[in-house]
Every structure is written in structure tokens, then in C-alpha cells.
């Protein structure tokens, strides 16, 4: 059994080991997480999402600086493989975020991303839980995508900040990454470059007000820290708005619902696949489809019924 | 009801309409597909997969040229949004593949890709079926990824060609995209650039022989057509090898098994989610997790049992 006290006390080495167990899907991970769970739920979780190259890690760097000045213990989970924050994931777990890695009140963890998809790994929620139990607050998650296939940042973070940059009209317009739907706050970083105002007006035309909150659109120049304080004010305003209206708790419930359903579905999927492969009818039906005696849609109806009855 | 005769006769307008119905998930699509299904299974399906920028569409362009010289009716399904072959998907359905779009025996269809993931949309199989029923043969599928979350090209194509280019050692080494496992043939395109031999030796070190077939590694310079004829010879050799050993039919069975299981799982997932949300215990359990009375893992065990009993 792994002792949880060092983790709860915020010992960085203990936290780091716990996260490694989770990433490695160790047998100890789930019992550890169950012990830590009662100590979670305190941290405010901020999601920072945007296409590669928009400067998310400079923004996080500047955010951490501000939070540190207020004496906060900050946790950072970085998952964008092309970003310097998490580039380290490819090089073991080297941290490259300037001076913070030497600062004992900032904990930065880079995670290898899963495949080419933009979402978060399902383990991200649990990594956040470990940091939360270690009294890190706020916890900042950086990711490149909105997660259509993996877990979306919007189902882990309390507040989502979408980071774009000038000349990104197309990314916004095509809306492919789903950024417009999940942003509570939009940031046009590198706002000293040409085209910032155009990007802002594109965003203005597309943003949709969610339950009375009109997502603000801010300009930042993260290298140099311009606009970051204003951004933190907006993040805090958003949080207070959500809390006042009861949406904050409701979001957390929705996140948990999604997690539980995801668990059940993946558990059941494994069972179903095994069951199907053990069914002698399965191979027979597949053969009938290959020989064009029946079509795949009739086949899946038949199989569905047979499996349901067992 | 949509008449299938024009599709079977290879009328391009009819084929195009049928594919649009499938992409739009029209009500007519499934009955149309059921009617077409008995006329499928004839086409040889070649998958062309590789990172953006490796020149997949130039390769396909040159392949189409060769197949046309032999009098084949070629179908192309392109899904890489950054590639000129399918770039058209963003601009409606404009085809940009040189002169082929004017050639009535080549049918090129670009499909919008799903999100940022590298796989194929689940509808790709059915688009291939429409082309197959229209006697297009071979059918070439172009995609950017190996598909960890969406459908993998290796579960649609009969033979998979992985396209890389010099200076891509890292992509190969990290193996993140899963290219090494799925390639029957490796092509180092733009082989006139520096580093081609290094990429080839990297590939040689990593390739694994699958059931007696050692994937050949070829050099091409697709713009100019260099190496393409040799590539087609290797594709044909691979096909003959697979057929001789019985692997060809077995692959098709495996693809179908995967498709049927996928159908059943997605059908059941929808049902399960509805069922869970209708269960009064579901919200109660979620609340207990939020208040830290129980943990998410116990909760999903409980829910799993309750749902299974219903």
C-alpha cells in the first residue's frame, strides 16, 4: 500500500510517483485514487485550450507567475506535445517552463498525449485529483484540442479559456475543433501581430452566450505578461458568475455523469466483445455477410438481439 | 426509393448523389446500402496513409495515371484535410487532382474528416461500398492517420501503403501514429531530398514481418512519377501473397467483425446512456460522488450492476 500522507502534505516526490502510477495504469493506482478521493474537490480547475503555436505555454507561464505572487500552490497538467510546456513528455519528464520548475510551490506535469487526437487522456481527470488532494489550487490544464474522441477539456475543467492568435480566422470559422462551444473566455494571444482585430471581430460574430454569460474576448501578449492580469480577473468573474447561478456545481455533476457513463460503457464494451467472439453464431453470421447472403445491417440487428438475450 | 441501376452502371452523378446521402446520414442511405451490398466485394481497396505533407496526393495522382493506362475505372476517397486531394472537402466538393477530374473513368471523392483525429469516418466503409457496386476497381483511400479513435485504414483497406518522407525519423521512431504496425508496403516519397537513406534504415530497423511478408521499403519521387510503377508491382505482389496464404479473405472477415462489433457497441451505448439517465438511482449516485460519500469507482460498479439487471 502506498502511504497517502506525503501526497496530502504536498510532497512533490510523492505526488509525482502517484501520477506515474496512474499513467502506467498500475494496479496500485485505483486503490490509491479511492483513498485520495475524499480529499478532492477543493481545487479550481482552469482549462487552457487552443491550436498549436498560439502561445498557450507562455500564457500559463505568466498565469503561474501571477498566482505565485498571491501565494497559491499551482498545479499544471500539460498535454500538447508540440508545446514547450509539455514537450518534455517526449523527453522523459523534463520541465522546461522557465524558472517555475525550481519553485517548490509550482508543480508541472507533462503527459504524453494519446495518438493524434486533440482530447485529453482519460487519466487526466485522475492526475488532477492527485494534485487536488495535495492542495494544489488552482490547477491549470493545457491541451491542444476540444476532444471529440478523447475526453474534452470542457468535461474536466471548471472554466475553459480558448487561446487563439491573429490570422486564425479559418480555424475559428470552420469551427472544426469545437472551440466556440466550449470557451468561457476567449484570448487572442500575440495580439501585437497583424490581424488581431480581425480575429476578434470573427470571434465576436461567432461566440454564443451560454446561460447569460457572454464570453469576453481579450487580447494578450503573453511574452511580457500583457493582459494576463485582466485575464485572471475575467476567469475569477466567470467562476463567481457560475457559482452564483448554481452552474458551477451543475457542471461538476455533469462531468461526473459523463465520467461514470464512460466507465460503464467501456466496461460493457469489453464484455460485449468477448461475449460476441465466444458466440458460435458470431463467426457464422460474419461468414454469411462475407458471402453476401445477408447484409451487415441485418447481421448487426441479429447479433444485437442474440447478445441481449444472453 | 432511389433507383440503384444508374449506380451499378457507374453513372457518376448517381454515385455522387448516393455518397452524399451517406455522408448526410440520410434516411435513404441505409436502405440504399442494403440494396447495393450484394453487388459489392469485387473491388481491390488500397489504403494510402501517412503524415501531412509527405506527398500522398501526388502519389495517388501518379497511381491513377498508371491504372488508367491499363483501362481501370479508379475510385479515390480522400480524407486528409491538409492535402490537395481532399482540400476540396472544405470548399464544397471541388476536385483539384489535376486532369483526372475531367476523366470520366476516375471518380474522386473528398470527405470532410472528423475532428482532429487521424482515422477515417465510420461512413468511409460505406462510401467504398458505393464505389465498389459501381464497378470501380481499384479503390484508393487516402488518409493522414492510422486511426486510434476513429476507424483505422487497416480495417477498411485490403493492402496498406505507408507514405513517409526524408527527415521523418522522429515520426517513425515515436511510432505514435501506429504506422509501423499497419504498413504492408513503406514508401519514402520525395526521395531526392536529403536524408532518404537514413529514413529507410530507420524503417528497416523497425519494420516487423507479418506472417511471412516482409514489408518492402521503396523510394519514390511522385512528382515526376519516379518509382510508382515499382510500387504498383509491390502492391500486386502483396495482394497475391495474401491471397495465396488465405490472409486476404481472413482480413476481410476481420474487418467485418470489427464493423459489426462497432455497430453493436454504438447501438448499445446509446441505449445504455438513455437507460442510465432515466434511472432515478443514477442522479442519486452522482450526488453521492459529488459529496464524497462514495468514490467514482464504487459508483460505476453499483451502476453497472443496476443497469445490467434491468
Q: How many domains does chain B have?
A: 2
The answer to whether residue B168 scores a pLDDT higher than 90 is no
Please indicate, yes or no, whether residues B277 and B228 belong to a single structural domain of this protein: no
> Residue A19 domain-assigned?
no
Residues B181 and B277 grouped into a single domain: no
Q: Would you call B271 an interface residue with chain A, using a CB distance cutoff of 8 Å? A: no
Per-residue pLDDT at B96: 44
- Domain span at residue B297 reads 261-309
Q: Does A219 lie in the same domain as A296?
A: no
CATH of the domain at B228: 3.40.50.300
A6-50 per-position pLDDT tens digit: 999 999 999 999 999 998 888 899 999 999 999 999 999 999 998
Q: Does the pLDDT of residue A115 top 60, yes or no?
A: no
Residue B272 lies in a domain: yes
Name the phi and psi angles at B98, rounded to 5.
Answer: 55, -130
Chain B residues whose CB is inside 8 A of the A117 CB are 115-118, 148-149
Percent of chain B exceeding pLDDT 70 equals 83
**Sign of the alpha-carbon torsion through B233, B235, B238, B242:** negative
Q: Are residues A178 and A132 in the same domain?
A: yes
**Minimum distance, in Å, between the CA of residue A115 and any CA atom of chain B:** 6
Q: Residue A84 pLDDT more than 90?
A: no
Q: Are residues B82 and B229 in the same domain?
A: yes
**Which of A173-177, A186-190, B144-148: highest mean pLDDT?**
A186-190
Looking at the predicted structure, is the pLDDT value of residue B163 above 70? yes
**Res. B97: pLDDT tops 70:** no
Are A226 and A287 members of one domain?
no
Interface probe, candidates B52, B246, B260, B284, chain A, greatest A C-beta count within 10 A: B260
The verdict on B202 and B79 lying in the same domain is: yes
Stretch 244-263 of chain B: residues touching chain A, C-beta under 8 Å = 249, 252-253, 256-257, 259-261, 263
| CB-count burial class (<10 Å; 0-12, 13-18, 19+) for B224 | exposed
Do A272 and B261 count as a contact with CB atoms less than 8 A apart?
Answer: yes
Whether residue B152 is found in the same domain as residue B287: no
DSSP single-letter state for residue A105: T
- Whether residue A210 lies inside any domain: the answer is yes
Same domain, A219 and A298: no
Residues A267 and A143 in one domain: no
Cell of A201: 471581430
Q: What gap in Å lies between CA A189 and CA A162, rounded to an integer?
A: 10
Residue B120 inside a domain? The answer is yes
Which residue on chain A is closest to B145 by alpha carbon?
Answer: A116
The CA-to-CA distance between both ends of chain B, in Å, stands at 39
**Which range (A96-100, A142-146, A229-233) has the least confidence?**
A96-100
If asked whether residues B152 and B283 sit together in one domain, one would say no
CB neighbours (10 Å) of residue A281?
12
Instruction: Inspect the interface and report whether the beta carbons of A253 and B116 lie closer than 8 Å.
Output: no
A294 pLDDT more than 80? yes
Residue A204 has pLDDT above 80, yes or no: yes
Most confident segment among B84-88, B224-228, B267-271: B224-228
Please, which contacts does B273-278 make with residues 24 or more away whose CB atoms are closer than 8 Å? B273/A261, B273/A265, B275/B307, B275/B310, B276/A260, B276/A261, B276/A264, B276/B303, B276/B307
Q: Are residues B137 and B173 in the same domain?
A: yes
Measured distance CA(A158)–CA(B240) in Å, rounded = 56
Closest chain A residue to B175, measured at CA? A115
Three-state DSSP class for A141? strand
Q: Give yes or no for B223 touching A (CB within 8 A).
A: no
- Considering the domain boundaries, does residue A10 fall inside one? no
In a domain? residue B188? yes
Percent of chain A with pLDDT over 90: 53
pLDDT at A95: 42
**Residue A15 maps to a domain:** no
Residue B225, C-alpha cell as written in the block: 512519377
Inter-chain touch B286–A260, beta carbons under 8 Å? yes
Does the residue B5 lie in any domain?
A: no
Task: Find which of A243-257, B87-101, B252-266, B277-291 is predicted with most confidence, using mean pLDDT.
Answer: A243-257
pLDDT over 60 at A102, yes or no: no
Residue A67: is its pLDDT beyond 50? yes
Give dist(CA A10, CA A20) in Å, integer. Answer: 16
Residue A150's pLDDT is 66
Amino acid at each position: 500500500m502506498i502511504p497517502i500522507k506525503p501526497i496530502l502534505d504536498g510532497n512533490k516526490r510523492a505526488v509525482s510517483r502517484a501520477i506515474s502510477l496512474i499513467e502506467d495504469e498500475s494496479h496500485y493506482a485505483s486503490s490509491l485514487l479511492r483513498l485520495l478521493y475524499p480529499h478532492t474537490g477543493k481545487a479550481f480547475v482552469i482549462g487552457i485550450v487552443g491550436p498549436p503555436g498560439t502561445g498557450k505555454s507562455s500564457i500559463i507561464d505568466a498565469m503561474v507567475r501571477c498566482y505565485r505572487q498571491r501565494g497559491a500552490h499551482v498545479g499544471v497538467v500539460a498535454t500538447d506535445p508540440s508545446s514547450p510546456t509539455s514537450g518534455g513528455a517526449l523527453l522523459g519528464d523534463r520541465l522546461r517552463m522557465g524558472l517555475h520548475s525550481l519553485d517548490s510551490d509550482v508543480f508541472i506535469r507533462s503527459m504524453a498525449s494519446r495518438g493524434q487526437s486533440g482530447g485529453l487522456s482519460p487519466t487526466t481527470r485522475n492526475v488532477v485529483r492527485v494534485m487536488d488532494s495535495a492542495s494544489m489550487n488552482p490547477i491549470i490544464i493545457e491541451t491542444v484540442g476540444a476532444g471529440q474522441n478523447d475526453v474534452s477539456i470542457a468535461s474536466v475543467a471548471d472554466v475553459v479559456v480558448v487561446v487563439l492568435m491573429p490570422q486564425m480566422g479559418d480555424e475559428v470559422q470552420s469551427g472544426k475543433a469545437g472551440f466556440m462551444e466550449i470557451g468561457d473566455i476567449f484570448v487572442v494571444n500575440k495580439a501585437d501581430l497583424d490581424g488581431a482585430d480581425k480575429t476578434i471581430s470573427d470571434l465576436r460574430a461567432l461566440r454564443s452566450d451560454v446561460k447569460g454569460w457572454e464570453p469576453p474576448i481579450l487580447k494578450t501578449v503573453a511574452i511580457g505578461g500583457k493582459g494576463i492580469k485582466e485575464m485572471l480577473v475575467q476567469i475569477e468573474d466567470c467562476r463567481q458568475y457560475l457559482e452564483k447561478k448554481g452552474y458551477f456545481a451543475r457542471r461538476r455533476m455533469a462531468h461526473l455523469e459523463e465520467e461514470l457513463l464512460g466507465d460503464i460503457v467501456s466496461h460493457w464494451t469489453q464484455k460485449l466483445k468477448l461475449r460476441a467472439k465466444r458466440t458460435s453464431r458470431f463467426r457464422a453470421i460474419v461468414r454469411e455477410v462475407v458471402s453476401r447472403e445477408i447484409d451487415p445491417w441485418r447481421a448487426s440487428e441479429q447479433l444485437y438481439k442474440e447478445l441481449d438475450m444472453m
